[in-house]
Amino acid sequence: MIVVAIIVMLAAIAIPNYVQARNNSQQKACINNLRQIDGAAQTWALENRQSPGAAYQLSDLRPYIKLDSGGNLPKCPSGGDYVPGTVTNVPTCTLGSSTPSHSI
Protein backbone atom coordinates (compact mmCIF):
# COMPACT_ATOMS: atom_id res chain seq x y z
CA MET A 1 0.00 0.00 0.00
CA ILE A 2 2.83 2.38 0.88
CA VAL A 3 4.63 1.51 -2.36
CA VAL A 4 1.51 2.32 -4.38
CA ALA A 5 1.15 5.65 -2.55
CA ILE A 6 4.79 6.52 -3.32
CA ILE A 7 4.34 5.64 -6.99
CA VAL A 8 1.19 7.78 -7.21
CA MET A 9 3.02 10.68 -5.56
CA LEU A 10 5.93 10.41 -7.99
CA ALA A 11 3.54 10.23 -10.94
CA ALA A 12 1.74 13.35 -9.69
CA ILE A 13 5.05 15.18 -9.79
CA ALA A 14 6.40 13.71 -13.03
CA ILE A 15 3.37 14.04 -15.34
CA PRO A 16 3.04 17.85 -15.21
CA ASN A 17 6.80 18.20 -15.77
CA TYR A 18 6.58 15.87 -18.78
CA VAL A 19 3.69 17.87 -20.28
CA GLN A 20 5.57 21.15 -19.78
CA ALA A 21 8.74 19.73 -21.35
CA ARG A 22 6.76 18.47 -24.34
CA ASN A 23 5.07 21.86 -24.83
CA ASN A 24 8.42 23.67 -24.62
CA SER A 25 9.94 21.29 -27.14
CA GLN A 26 7.05 21.78 -29.58
CA GLN A 27 7.28 25.56 -29.18
CA LYS A 28 11.01 25.57 -29.93
CA ALA A 29 10.55 23.31 -32.96
CA CYS A 30 7.82 25.63 -34.29
CA ILE A 31 10.00 28.71 -33.83
CA ASN A 32 12.87 26.94 -35.60
CA ASN A 33 10.56 26.11 -38.52
CA LEU A 34 9.47 29.77 -38.69
CA ARG A 35 13.13 30.82 -38.85
CA GLN A 36 13.77 28.35 -41.69
CA ILE A 37 10.74 29.66 -43.58
CA ASP A 38 11.92 33.26 -43.08
CA GLY A 39 15.41 32.40 -44.33
CA ALA A 40 13.93 30.64 -47.36
CA ALA A 41 11.75 33.70 -48.06
CA GLN A 42 14.80 35.96 -47.94
CA THR A 43 16.66 33.68 -50.37
CA TRP A 44 13.61 33.49 -52.65
CA ALA A 45 13.34 37.29 -52.71
CA LEU A 46 17.03 37.74 -53.43
CA GLU A 47 17.13 35.20 -56.26
CA ASN A 48 13.89 36.43 -57.83
CA ARG A 49 14.65 40.15 -57.38
CA GLN A 50 11.55 40.80 -55.30
CA SER A 51 10.92 44.04 -53.45
CA PRO A 52 10.92 44.11 -49.62
CA GLY A 53 7.11 44.33 -49.57
CA ALA A 54 6.61 41.39 -51.92
CA ALA A 55 4.24 38.72 -50.65
CA TYR A 56 5.06 35.06 -51.10
CA GLN A 57 3.28 31.76 -50.76
CA LEU A 58 4.73 28.83 -48.87
CA SER A 59 4.73 26.85 -52.11
CA ASP A 60 7.18 29.42 -53.57
CA LEU A 61 9.72 28.38 -50.94
CA ARG A 62 9.83 24.66 -51.74
CA PRO A 63 13.20 24.86 -53.55
CA TYR A 64 14.73 26.84 -50.68
CA ILE A 65 13.71 24.82 -47.63
CA LYS A 66 14.34 21.29 -46.46
CA LEU A 67 11.25 19.18 -46.97
CA ASP A 68 10.20 16.29 -44.74
CA SER A 69 10.41 12.66 -45.83
CA GLY A 70 7.03 12.95 -47.58
CA GLY A 71 8.15 15.97 -49.63
CA ASN A 72 6.06 18.40 -47.56
CA LEU A 73 6.99 21.70 -46.00
CA PRO A 74 7.59 21.61 -42.23
CA LYS A 75 4.50 21.70 -40.02
CA CYS A 76 3.96 23.05 -36.54
CA PRO A 77 4.33 20.12 -34.14
CA SER A 78 1.49 21.51 -32.01
CA GLY A 79 -0.96 21.46 -34.91
CA GLY A 80 -0.83 25.12 -35.91
CA ASP A 81 -0.57 26.38 -39.47
CA TYR A 82 2.13 28.63 -40.86
CA VAL A 83 0.97 31.88 -42.42
CA PRO A 84 3.35 33.49 -44.91
CA GLY A 85 4.10 37.18 -44.67
CA THR A 86 5.98 39.55 -46.89
CA VAL A 87 9.72 39.61 -47.40
CA THR A 88 10.14 42.13 -44.57
CA ASN A 89 7.50 40.61 -42.26
CA VAL A 90 8.27 37.27 -40.68
CA PRO A 91 5.93 34.31 -41.15
CA THR A 92 3.66 33.46 -38.25
CA CYS A 93 2.05 30.42 -36.71
CA THR A 94 -1.68 30.36 -36.00
CA LEU A 95 -0.74 29.44 -32.43
CA GLY A 96 1.31 32.64 -32.12
CA SER A 97 -1.04 34.22 -29.61
CA SER A 98 -1.42 31.11 -27.46
CA THR A 99 0.62 30.18 -24.43
CA PRO A 100 3.39 29.20 -24.97
CA SER A 101 3.67 31.58 -27.90
CA HIS A 102 4.79 30.25 -31.27
CA SER A 103 6.43 33.33 -32.75
CA ILE A 104 9.92 34.46 -33.65
Confidence (pLDDT) at 98: 66
Q: Residue 28 is part of which domain span? A: 2-93
Tell me the Ramachandran region of residue 49: left when phi exceeds 0, alpha when psi lies from -120 to 50, beta otherwise: left
User: Is the residue at 103 inside a domain?
Assistant: no
User: Is the residue at 57 inside a domain?
Assistant: yes
User: Is the residue at 33 inside a domain?
Assistant: yes
Confidence (pLDDT) at 30: 92
pLDDT of residue 24 exceeding 70, the answer is: yes
**Whole-number average pLDDT of the chain:** 89
User: Is the residue at 30 inside a domain?
Assistant: yes
User: Is the residue at 104 inside a domain?
Assistant: no
User: Is the residue at 51 inside a domain?
Assistant: yes
Q: Does 21 or 103 have the greater pLDDT score?
A: 21
Confidence (pLDDT) at 99: 62
Q: Provide the residue type at 8 as one letter.
A: V
- pTM value is 0.81
CB 21 within 8 A of CB 32: no
Query: pLDDT of 76-88, one tens digit each?
Result: 998 889 999 899 9
Mean pLDDT of 14-28: 90
**Considering its fold, how many domains does the chain have in total?**
1
Query: pLDDT of 45-77, one tens digit each?
Result: 999 999 988 999 999 999 999 888 888 888 999
Helices (H) and strands (E) in the chain, counts: 1, 2
User: Is the residue at 102 inside a domain?
Assistant: no
User: Is the residue at 54 inside a domain?
Assistant: yes
